[in-house]
């Protein structure tokens, strides 16, 4: 029995479309995974920055208060090491 050429073309086209759809889904999943990685990395970085800001604010807050009160604030940490 001979299969008509139109049926063969239709099968070939459907196979090609199926492969394209499969490739599109794979790239979509890869893109989704990449976006999740980028988002998680950004969240970790923002938490790290917020932690640094809290520490900086603890160090700067006494300076602001001293300035408002008309005084000055000297940091308790030594800024220079002098060796005689």
Per residue in 11-61, pLDDT (tens digit) is 999 999 999 999 999 999 999 999 999 999 999 999 999 988 888 888 888
- Evaluate whether 33 touches 23 at the Cβ level (below 8 Å): no
Q: How far apart are CA 8 and CA 77, in angstroms?
A: 83
28 compared with 75, residue with greater pLDDT:
28
Nearest in space to 47 (alpha carbons), one of 58, 39, 36 = 39
CA atoms within 13 A on the CB side of 44: 6
The whole-angstrom distance between residue 38's C-alpha and the CA centroid of its chain comes to 3
Q: How far apart are CA 61 and CA 67, in angstroms?
A: 10
Q: In the prediction, which pLDDT does 17 show?
A: 98
Q: In the prediction, which pLDDT does 22 show?
A: 97
Q: In the prediction, which pLDDT does 84 show?
A: 65
Q: How far apart are CA 76 and CA 61, in angstroms?
A: 14
Q: What is the pTM of this model?
A: 0.52
């Amino acid at each position: 029995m001979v299969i008509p050429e139109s049926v063969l073309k239709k099968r070939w086209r459907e196979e090609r479309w199926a492969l394209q759809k499969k490739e599109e889904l794979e790239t979509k999943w890869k893109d989704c995974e990449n976006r999740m990685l980028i988002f998680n990395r950004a969240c970790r970085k923002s938490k790290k920055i917020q932690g640094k800001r809290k520490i900086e604010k603890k160090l700067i807050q006494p300076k602001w208060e001293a300035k408002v009160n008309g005084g000055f604030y000297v940091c308790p940490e030594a800024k220079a090491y002098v060796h005689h």
